[in-house]
Structure 1
Amino acid sequence: MKLLSVIALLAIASPLGVSAASLQLFPQAPVDISATYPVSGDNPLEFCSDPSNNILEILNVDLSPNPPQPGQTLSINAEGILHETVERGAKVLLQVSYGLIRLISQEVDLCDQLETNVDISCPLEKGKLTFTKQVDLPKEIPPGKYSVIADAYTKDKQPITCLQAKNIVFH
């Protein structure tokens, strides 16, 4: 029934010189789902989408070892530029999947996580930001393929950054 309504609308509009483009039935450009946005450095990370509007411009992330290995210490070195100050109340939506099974899906406070795990205090001031973190990975990580998404945003829902790592394989 809806299809007939659209066809009727187009039939009525066509003699008037009205096209689908002028009616703005399709106002946005098509999305290129094959586009990837890799993060610079020695890492398996990609931005979830075009990072040009993110508050955090990530310049470089290096992981050692890359790929991470169970039972080893993962060293993370990151460098970026904050284009705005990030206040308390910012959140991170963290999702971890094992194959097709979602193991973790939780929203956490960004500042609490940074203060506890990286020794960085909020507010995060505008300007250059660098950090180094050592993470001891348990040797009991089950073998398989993992994917991680970390989507960070301000208390006003402005995108700070969104990173993903697909198909991290532990043997």
Structure 2
Amino acid sequence: MRFNVACVAALASVASALPSWFDSQDVVALDDAKKVPGANPLTYCQEQHDDDIVKITSVDLLPNPPEAGTELVIRAAGTVFETIEEGAYINLVVKYGLIRLVNTKADLCEQTEKADLKCPIEKGILSVTKAVDIPNEVPPGKYTVHAEVINANEKPITCLEATVQFGGKKSVEGGEL
């Protein structure tokens, strides 16, 4: 269960909308060079990502922001500049506050099968839509995600980071709770 909750938090962070995740005192200006296009809290790990194998053109999600106990639809689009072969992997770190929930190296091709993609992933324009259920059991709090994606030849595919806030204040017609 703990791994599933952490994976949902990672997926949600990839596809969440930045303005909705933070209370007003938590909003920070992001460097436009590092911001991933679309309605999401994602940033690239480094300022220069021109050598990445994948250029992300957008990442969005519905609902925005995601909520525990709901279905989350993730829409992502981008361009793949080199074929991604078996042997590619993801170094994934997910933290809940200061607690490290996940620190793993996962097979990229196994993970992409969950989004109905199969390796090799050929060069060209790619669009993915995936629905996932967010469990009711996701504890409220701040999650940070670091996902470094590397091809079989150790060339960077992409590297993304995000901070996601689950729970907290909910708005009601006419104000906040």
Which interval holds the TM-score relative to the shorter structure? 0.7 to 0.9
CA distance in 2, matches of 1:67, 1:99: 19
Q: Which runs of 4+ in 1 moved over 2 A?
A: none
Within a 5 Å distance, the mapping from 1:142-161 to structure 2 comes to 142-161=139-158
Q: Residue by residue, what CA displacement relative to the aligned partner does 1:102-140 show, whole Å, maximum 9, x if unpaired? A: 10010010001111x111011010111111000100011
Shift of 1:67: 2.4
State whether structure 2 residue 70 is matched by structure 1 residue 72: yes
CA distance in 2, matches of 1:170, 1:112: 27
CA distance in 2, matches of 1:57, 1:66: 23
State whether structure 2 residue 119 is matched by structure 1 residue 122: yes
**TM-score with structure 2 setting the length:** 0.74
3-state SS, counterpart of residue 51 of structure 1: coil
Shift of 1:66: 2.5
**What is the root-mean-square deviation in Å for CA atoms of aligned residues?**
1.3
Q: Aligned to 1:131, which of 128, 138, 152?
A: 128
Q: Aligned to 2:84, which of 70, 83, 86?
A: 86
Uncovered stretches (5+) of structure 1, i.e. residues with no partner: 1-33
Aligned to 1:44: 41
Aligned to 2:166: 170
| Fraction of identical pairs, as percent | 48
> Is the radius of gyration larger for structure 1 or structure 2?
1
**TM-score with structure 1 setting the length:** 0.76
CA distance in 2, matches of 1:121, 1:78: 16
Letter aligned with residue 157 of structure 1: E
Q: Residue by residue, what CA displacement relative to the aligned partner does 1:42-63 show, whole Å, maximum 9, x if unpaired? A: 1111111122110000001111
Uncovered stretches (5+) of structure 2, i.e. residues with no partner: 1-29, 168-177
